[in-house]
């Protein structure tokens, strides 16, 4: 293996014992990965090849680019080759022309080129499969041995001793090169942690504009770098894992249904730190594919490795729409895709995409159903603290700060006493069959006001999540998570509503603009009815625009629209 | 109105031309939440109010510069205190809200609000008599605007001009925090039955901004770094200072806690406030630095420490912090020492 590496100058890997330990382990991991199928993506288009030489032959034939030729002409070492690969891939991605003749200057001292353009670029890991420089089998390293031998030969010593010595030297070098390779991987991970999305954003923007001109299926461009970037920080993952309502539900369902997972292939979309993938692996899944487009995936990889589950779980970085999975179909898709008011951040279409492309016809989605709820709110104290307060701030009127208070959805945890009427489930999504079109809708809703109503201050929206054990298990649209879980067998479901433990999703509060709204006569027993409409914001694809219509039953209705950004 | 909308467009364009990290910093201040939190922080806002409106004799007929004016509250205090004119400067688009607020309160002729970087704007007055600013960040210096205040001081403050506030001191104490350390740091050892130790290192290296109960404080608090706003130079903010912590009782030390005090010494009756664990809650809370080891201390024993702080090379609003500690005792089993690196980002 080491012979294939060009000899490098002795840039020794001065890692501490600890690091070495870690690196060696990482190396072991690589060995295992090597037994897996490899798919090498072409440098110039999206054709995929089983090995690097085949791909490069294709590039030479079709695009006239001789990778090995350039490598040998410039005498590139391992890092050089990596830079060359990334230079080419980046140019292709940006739609920029390659230099007529690539010179050493193009690759000099540009550490950015060490960042893989293609996540998990198989070509980089297959560099040792390439033919060596020079003609025939003679590699640079053996040629150099000969030169050194010739020198040594001028002395008196027998050649055998020398050869033995050289052999030992070569072995040491081989080890060192292996170490360098793992060092490179580590360096890349660290660089990515630091720079992902920052340095590349400019490039992405450029790529975006160029790809919009050419409708060709160029490598797809991520137009939501910030969204993925915001998941790089550990705080959000800590918040999510420590949301016990959420994490317990997934754990309880997966561990209580080991028979569903045993021997199965599972896809985890948006795996984060890998917790759900590890639940599935522990529950007996034969294989878990953990996909995430955020740098947190590097932590997931470490977590999975530390828990000895790396033989079951494969981490793949990228958007689910772009990545190439090593399997055609999966048995189960598990995903924690829910956003504020259920649909904010719009990750569900990605789950649908994966479901339609990868899930077996009889496959299971975890969770399986989600329902959305609305209820009227009356909370004078909240209004005083958050709305009226601005009118007298240390003697000054700051009503300007109220802007948005009636046009933006406020994510907050409301006390259950703020709810002043019956809650209404306005939409139930069966995730096995739902379509993207079902996420934009206008539904009817109604409520009977309770004795908690003083004034109608606004509306509260939340969602419930259900984990059915089969595709055929139906969930009555009007059942709450609690009612469904309690009915019959032990079933898993959770709510993000105001009547149970708060979750990190909180609830969406929609305050009525009383300056504009007509006051309606409210009181215990009165019935309100209306519609609720979910739409996607024109200028912000992950944002929502939600309109609520309301009024007394059989009377005129009024409406107001709120944005969730 | 139309003019204002154009201002906003120009401002947004300016924002977009910034570095990504800078953009993020300035934009995050656009959310109302942070302004609401700051205004509702009574210790903070009331201290500034007292320092300004109780000293009308100082502010009367003076030209005042408010660095990082936000919603304009301090500018309005200064105008109420009789200032001849107040210039409020803020990079964030919150300044457009501030303009509306100032107008509604009938102070538009007294207060000029300028959107932009202090270093780049055209000042309507060549010199100012007083600089007011609420520039403090978590741990005093994280994401702080102190460098901007110092720039304004050197460029615009008249000789013998005043700065409100003019003194800031960082304090440190040792705390017993076993339960919470277990919850925050130990949590990653066993996450639903899995080993999450890669995230533990990250958690240890991130100082925790949170409230600390006074009962948790094991040592005497020690002032470790004092800033005199009239004298300090930007390069002084990369500092190293040794200090001792003396145990008040037999206990364990799991972490160091840091906070700061702020003083307005120019006032007729000096105004000061503290963000420490011994006093009322502020939105700055305190900053906790967990140590790798736990120290077992007896009353009267000293822990020798040093604190090293410097702005991050890449993003100067981030801080790289190092804490070194050594417990010297007669009992060899309790001797301990080490050094920890932290990053506030």
> Best of B199, B203, B314 to disrupt the A interface by mutation (most A CBs within 10 Å)?
B199
- Residues of chain B in contact with residue A302, where contact means CB-CB under 8 angstroms, are 198
User: Which of A362 and A71 is assigned the larger pLDDT?
Assistant: A362
The alpha carbon of residue B228 is apart from the nearest alpha carbon of chain A, in Å, by 29
Residue A135, pLDDT > 70, answer no
pLDDT band at A104 (very low <50, low <70, confident <90, very high): confident
Average pLDDT over residues A60-85: 82
Q: Return the pLDDT at B34.
A: 84
- Asked if A396 is an interface residue toward chain B (Cβ–Cβ < 8 A), one would say yes
β strands within B182-335, DSSP E = 208-210, 222-228, 239-246, 251-264, 271-274, 286-297, 302-311, 319-327
Q: Among A106-115, A342-351, A498-507, B201-210, which is the least confidently predicted range?
A: A106-115
User: Nearest CA to CA, how far is A379 from chain B (Å)?
Assistant: 19
pLDDT greater at residue A191 or residue B183? B183
**What is the band of B28 on the pLDDT scale with cuts at 50, 70, 90?**
very low
Report the pLDDT averaged over residues A357-385.
97
In this predicted structure, what is the pLDDT of residue B339?
A: 96
Distance from B239 to chain A by nearest Cα, in Å? 25
- H or E segment to which residue B157 belongs: strand B157-164
Q: Which of helix, strand or coil describes residue A464?
A: strand
Taking a C-beta distance cutoff of 8 angstroms, is the pair B128, B158 a contact?
yes
Other C-beta atoms lying within 10 Å of the C-beta of residue B95? 24
Instruction: Over range B187-205, report the average pLDDT.
Output: 92
Nearest-Cα distance to chain B for A310, in Å, is 13
Task: Place A163 in a pLDDT band, splitting at 50, 70 and 90.
Answer: confident
What percent of chain A shows pLDDT beyond 70? 77
Q: Look at B327 and B16; give whichever has higher pLDDT.
A: B327
Please determine, for residue B65, whether its predicted confidence score (pLDDT) is greater than 70.
yes
**Which pLDDT score is estimated for B274?**
98
- Among chain B residues, the shortest Cα distance to A276 is held by B192
The C-alpha atoms of residue A484 and residue A476 are separated, in whole angstroms, by 8
In chain A, residues 217-256 whose CB comes closer than 8 Å to chain B: 234, 237-238, 241-242, 247, 251
Q: Give me the percent of chain B exceeding a pLDDT of 70.
A: 91
For the four alpha carbons of A22, A28, A31 and A37, in that order, the dihedral sign comes to negative
Q: Which of A226, A238, A387 to mutate to test the interface with B (most CBs of B within 10 A)?
A: A238
Task: Show which of residues 273-312 on chain B sit within 8 Å of chain A, judged by CB atoms.
Answer: none
Nearest to B198 among A299, A397, A398 (CB): A299
Per-residue buried b or exposed e for A416-450, using 16+ beta carbons within 10 Å of the residue's own CB: eebbbbebbbbbbbbbbebeeeebeeeeebebebb
Residue A12 has pLDDT above 50, yes or no: no
Residue A232: its pLDDT value, please?
Answer: 59
| Pair B29, B36: CB distance under 8 Å | no
pLDDT mean across residues, chain A: 80
Partner A contacted by B120 (CB < 8 A)? no
3 state DSSP class of A323: coil
Tokens of A166: 């050289």
A45 Cβ contact partners less than 8 Å away, ≥ 6 residues apart: none
The strand pairing partners of A341, in sequence order, are: none
Q: Where does residue B289 rank: exposed (0-12), middle (13-18), buried (19+ CB within 10 A)?
A: buried
Would you call the peptide bond into B255 cis, given omega within 30 degrees of 0 as the criterion?
A: no
Q: Is the pLDDT of residue A23 over 60?
A: no
Nearest residue, CB atoms, B196 vs list A201, A279, A303: A303
Query: Does the distance separating the beta carbons of B73 and A393 come in below 8 Å?
Result: yes
Give the C-alpha separation, B329 to A193, whole Å.
Answer: 42
Comparing A122-126, A448-452, B68-72, B288-292, which segment has the lowest mean pLDDT?
A122-126
SS (H, E, C) A128-158: HHCCCCCCCCCCHHHHHHHHHHHHHHCCCCC
Task: With beta carbons less than 8 A apart as the criterion, state whether A40 and A126 touch.
Answer: yes
Cβ <8 Å between A273 and B199: yes
DSSP assignments along A412-442, one per residue: E---GGGB-B--EEEEEEETTT--GGGGSEE
User: A residues 117-156 near B, CB within 8 Å?
Assistant: none
Contact at CB, A394 and B45, closer than 8 angstroms:
yes
- Asked if the peptide bond before residue B165 counts as cis, ω within 30 degrees of 0, the response is yes
Q: What is the pLDDT of residues A201-232, one digit of tens each?
A: 333 333 333 333 333 333 333 445 655 655 55
Mean pLDDT of A45-67: 83
A308 confidence band (pLDDT: 50, 70, 90): very high
Give me chain B's average pLDDT, please. 91
Residue of B nearest to A247 (CA): B192
Q: With 70 as the cut, is the pLDDT of residue A28 above it?
A: no
Q: Could you tell me what percentage of chain B is helix, strand and coil, using 3-state DSSP and rounding each to the nearest 5?
A: 30, 35, 35
Q: Which chain A residues are Cβ-neighbours of B101 within 8 angstroms?
A: 396-401
Across the range A400-407, mean pLDDT stands at: 87
- Among A456, A431, A457, A459, CA closest to A445: A459
Instruction: pLDDT band for B48, please (50, 70, 90 cuts).
Output: very high
Cα distance from N-terminal residue to C-terminal residue, chain A: 52
Cβ-defined contact of A303 to B195 (cutoff 8 Å): yes
Instruction: Please state, in angstroms and rounded to a whole number, the distance separating the CA atoms of residues A175 and A166.
Output: 14
Mean pLDDT on A91-95: 79
What per-residue confidence (pLDDT) applies to A229?
Answer: 57
User: Which tokens is B137 given?
Assistant: 């960040």
Using alpha carbons, list the distances in angstroms from residue B12 to A201, A225, B116. 18, 20, 11
**Two structure tokens written together for B205:** 């290296």
Nearest to B97 among A251, A303, A400 (CB): A400
| Lowest mean per-residue pLDDT among A148-157, A270-279, A390-399, A428-437 | A148-157
Nearest beta carbon to residue B198 from set A251, A302, A395 = A302
- For residue A34, what pLDDT is reported? 39
Active site residues of A: 336, 345
Interchain pair A307, B39: CB under 8 A:
no
For residue A201, list chain B residues with Cβ-Cβ distance below 8 A.
20
Q: In chain A, positions 254-273, which contact chain B (CB-CB < 8 Å)?
A: 273
Average pLDDT over residues B295-315: 95
Q: Which residue has the higher pLDDT, A543 or B162?
A: B162
Count other Cβ atoms within 10 Å, centred on residue B246.
16
Q: Is the dihedral of CA A416, A418, A423, A426 positive or negative?
A: negative
Enumerate the H helices of A64-198 as residue ranges. Answer: 67-74, 78-94, 104-107, 122-125, 140-153, 159-195
CA angle B26, B27, B31 (to 5 degrees): 120
Which of A234, A307, A397 is the closest to B199 by Cβ? A234
> B45 CB near a chain A CB, below 8 Å?
yes
Q: Which of A9-18, A378-387, B6-15, B104-113 has the lowest mean pLDDT?
A: A9-18
Which of A247, A282, A398 is facing B71, going by the closest CB pair?
Answer: A398
Q: CB-based contacts of A522: which residues, under 8 Å, 6+ apart?
A: A378, A449, A453, A455, A456
d(CA A265, CA A280): 9
CB B147 within 8 A of CB B155: no
Residue-wise pLDDT for A331-366, tens only, equals 999 999 999 999 998 799 999 999 999 999 999 999
**What residue spans of A404-542 are helical by DSSP H?**
481-486
Q: Judged by CB atoms within 8 Å, which residues 172-231 of B form the interface with A?
A: 187, 191-199, 202-203, 206
pLDDT higher for A218 or B62?
B62
**Mean pLDDT across the stretch B70-96?**
95
- Is A14's pLDDT higher than 50? no
* Distance of residue B194 Cα from the nearest chain A Cα, in angstroms: 6
Structure-derived torsion over alpha carbons of residues A440, A446, A449, A450, reported in degrees to the nearest 10: -80
Q: Does B154 touch chain A (CB under 8 A)?
A: no
Chain A nearest C-alpha distance from B97 (Å): 6
pLDDT of residue A21: 35
Q: Phi and psi for A62 in degrees, rounded to 5?
A: -80, -40
User: Lowest-confidence range among A1-5, A492-496, B185-189?
Assistant: A1-5
Min Cα separation B291/chain A (Å): 20
CB–CB of B71 and A273 under 8 A? no
Distances (CA, A) of A156 to A152, A159, A169, A338, B2: 8, 9, 20, 76, 93
Residue in A closest to B197 by C-alpha: A303
Report the pLDDT value the prediction gives residue A19, as an integer from 0 to 100.
34
Do B187 and A307 lie within an 8 Å CB cutoff?
no
Residue A102 has pLDDT above 70, yes or no: yes
On the 0-12 / 13-18 / 19+ scale of CB atoms within 10 A, A364 is buried
Residue A394 pLDDT > 90:
yes
Contact check, Cβ <8 Å, B195/A403: no
pLDDT value, residue A108: 74
Residues of B with a catalytic annotation lie at: 134, 143
A140/A324: higher pLDDT = A324
Q: Which residue, B196, B247, B251, B243, is CA-closest to B223?
A: B243
pLDDT band (50, 70, 90) for residue A184 = low
Reference A547, options A536, A539, A556; nearest CA is A536
pLDDT digit string, tens, across residues B115-148: 999 999 999 999 999 999 999 999 999 988 999 9
Contacts of A234 in chain B (CB under 8 A): 199, 202-203, 206
- Nearest residue in B to A277, CA atom: B194
Question: What residues in A contact B199, CB-CB < 8 Å?
Answer: 234, 237-238, 273, 299, 303
Q: Give me the residue from A242, A251, A398 closest to B101, CB to CB.
A: A398
Please check the confidence at residue B53 and state whether its pLDDT lies above 90. Answer: yes
Answer whether A400 touches B (CB < 8 Å): yes
- Of chain A, the percentage scoring pLDDT greater than 90 comes to 52
Contact yes or no for B277/B286 (Cβ under 8 A): yes
Residue B322 pLDDT > 50, yes or no?
A: yes
**Residues A337 and A328 sit within 8 Å (Cβ to Cβ):** no
**A18 contacts chain B (CB < 8 A):** no
More confident: A94 or B39: B39
Report the relative pairing of strands A558-564 and A540-552 from DSSP bridges. Answer: antiparallel
The answer to whether A312 touches A288, Cβ cutoff 8 Å, is: yes
Residue A77's pLDDT is what?
Answer: 79
Q: Give me the residues paired with residue A493 across strands.
A: A466
pLDDT over threshold 60, residue A5:
no
Contacts of A399 in chain B (CB under 8 A): 101, 104
Segment A226-243, tens digit of pLDDT: 556 555 567 888 899 999
| pLDDT at position B258 | 98
Q: Span A410-438, mean pLDDT?
A: 96
Q: Write the CA distances from B65 to B59, B166, B342, integer angstroms.
A: 11, 14, 35
- Verify whether the Cβ–Cβ distance A401 to B97 is below 8 Å: yes
Residues in chain A with CB shorter than 8 Å from the CB of B39 are: 393-394, 398
**Which of A3-7, A282-286, A539-543 is predicted least confidently?**
A3-7
| B16 interfacial to chain A (CB closer than 8 Å) | no
Tally C-beta pairs within 8 A across A and B: 77
């Amino acid at each position: 293996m080491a012979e294939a590496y060009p000899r490098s100058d002795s840039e020794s890997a001065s890692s501490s014992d600890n690091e070495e330990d870690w690196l060696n382990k990482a190396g072991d991991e690589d060995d295992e990965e090597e037994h897996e199928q490899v798919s090498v993506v072409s440098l110039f288009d999206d054709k995929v090849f089983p090995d690097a030489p085949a791909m490069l032959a294709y590039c030479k034939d079709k695009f006239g680019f001789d990778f090995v030729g350039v490598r040998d002409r410039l005498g590139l070492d391992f890092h050089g080759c990596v830079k060359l690969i990334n230079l080419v891939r980046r140019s292709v991605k940006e739609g920029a022309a390659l230099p007529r003749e690539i010179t050493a200057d193009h690759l000099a001292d540009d550490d950015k080129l060490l960042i893989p353009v293609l996540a998990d670029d198989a070509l980089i890991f297959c560099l040792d499969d390439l033919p060596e420089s020079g003609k025939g089998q003679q590699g640079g390293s053996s040629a150099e041995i000969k030169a050194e031998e010739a020198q040594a030969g001028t002395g008196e010593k027998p050649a055998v001793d020398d050869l033995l010595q050289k052999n030992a030297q070569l072995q040491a070098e081989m080890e060192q090169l292996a170490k360098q390779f793992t060092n490179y991987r580590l360096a890349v991970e660290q660089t990515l942690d630091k720079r992902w999305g920052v340095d590349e954003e400019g490039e992405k923007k450029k790529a975006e504009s160029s790809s919009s001109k050419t409708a060709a299926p160029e490598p797809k461009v991520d137009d939501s770098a910030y969204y993925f970037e915001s998941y790089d920080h550990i705080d959000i993952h800590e918040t999510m894992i420590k949301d016990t309502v959420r994490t317990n539900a997934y754990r309880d369902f997966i561990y209580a249904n080991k028979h569903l997972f045993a021997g199965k292939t599972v896809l985890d979309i948006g795996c984060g730190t890998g917790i759900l993938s590890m639940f599935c692996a522990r529950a007996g899944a034969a294989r878990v594919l953990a996909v995430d487009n955020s740098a947190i995936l590097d932590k997931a990889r470490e977590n999975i490795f530390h828990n000895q589950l790396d033989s079951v779980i494969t981490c793949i970085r990228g958007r689910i729409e772009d990545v190439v999975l090593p399997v055609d179909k999966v048995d189960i898709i598990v995903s924690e895709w829910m956003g504020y008011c259920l649909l904010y951040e719009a990750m569900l279409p990605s789950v649908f995409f994966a479901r339609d492309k990868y899930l077996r016809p009889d496959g299971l989605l975890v969770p399986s159903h989600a329902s959305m709820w609305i209820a009227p709110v009356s909370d004078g104290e909240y209004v005083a603290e958050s709305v009226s307060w601005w009118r007298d701030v240390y003697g000054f009127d700051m009503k300007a700060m109220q802007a948005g208070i009636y046009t933006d959805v406020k994510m907050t945890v409301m006390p259950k006493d703020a709810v002043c009427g019956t809650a209404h489930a306005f939409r139930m999504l069966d995730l096995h069959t739902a379509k993207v079109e079902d996420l934009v809708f206008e539904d009817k809703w109604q409520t009977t006001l309770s004795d908690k109503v003083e004034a109608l201050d606004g509306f509260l929206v939340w969602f419930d999540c259900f984990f059915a054990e089969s595709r055929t298990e139906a969930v009555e649209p009007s059942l709450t998570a609690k009612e469904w879980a309690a009915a019959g067998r032990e079933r898993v479901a959770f709510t993000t509503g105001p009547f149970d433990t708060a979750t990190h999703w909180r609830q969406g509060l929609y305050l009525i603009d009383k300056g504009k709204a007509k006051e309606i006569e409210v009181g215990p027993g009165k019935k309100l009815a209306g519609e609720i409409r979910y739409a996607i914001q024109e200028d912000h694809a992950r944002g929502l625009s939600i309109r609520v219509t309301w009024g007394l039953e059989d009377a005129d209705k009024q409406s107001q629209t709120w944005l969730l950004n | 109105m139309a003019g204002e909308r154009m201002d906003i467009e120009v401002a947004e364009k300016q924002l977009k031309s910034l570095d990504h990290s800078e953009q993020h910093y300035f934009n995050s201040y656009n959310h109302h939440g942070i302004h609401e939190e700051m205004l509702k922080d009574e210790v903070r806002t009331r201290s500034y109010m007292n320092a300004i409106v109780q000293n009308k004799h100082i502010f009367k007929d003076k030209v005042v510069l408010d660095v990082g004016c936000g919603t304009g509250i301090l500018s309005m205090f200064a105008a109420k205190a009789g200032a001849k004119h107040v210039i409020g400067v803020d990079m964030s688009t919150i300044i457009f809200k501030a303009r509306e607020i100032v107008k509604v309160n009938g102070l538009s002729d007294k207060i000029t609000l300028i959107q932009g970087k202090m270093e780049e704007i055209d000042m309507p007055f060549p010199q100012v008599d007083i600089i007011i600013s609420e520039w403090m960040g978590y741990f005093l210096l994280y994401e702080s605007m102190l460098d901007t205040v110092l720039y304004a001081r050197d460029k615009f403050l008249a000789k013998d001009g005043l700065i409100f506030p003019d003194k800031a001191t960082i304090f440190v104490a040792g705390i017993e925090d076993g339960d919470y350390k277990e919850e925050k740091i130990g949590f990653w050892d066993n996450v639903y039955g899995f080993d999450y130790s890669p995230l533990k290192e990250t958690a240890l290296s991130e100082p925790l901004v949170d409230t600390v109960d006074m009962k948790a404080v094991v040592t005497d608090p020690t002032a470790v770094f004092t800033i005199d706003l009239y004298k300090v130079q930007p390069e002084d903010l990369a500092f190293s200072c040794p200090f001792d912590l003396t145990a008040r009782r037999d206990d364990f030390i799991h972490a160091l806690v840091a906070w700061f005090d702020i003083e307005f010494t120019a006032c007729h009756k000096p105004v000061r406030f503290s963000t420490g664990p011994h006093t009322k809650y502020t939105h700055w809370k305190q900053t906790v630095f967990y140590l790798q080891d736990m120290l077992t201390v007896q009353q009267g024993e000293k822990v020798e420490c040093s604190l090293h702080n410097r702005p991050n090379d890449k993003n100067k609003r981030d801080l790289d912090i190092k804490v070194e500690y050594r417990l010297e005792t007669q009992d060899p089993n309790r001797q301990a020492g080490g050094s920890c690196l932290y990053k506030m980002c």
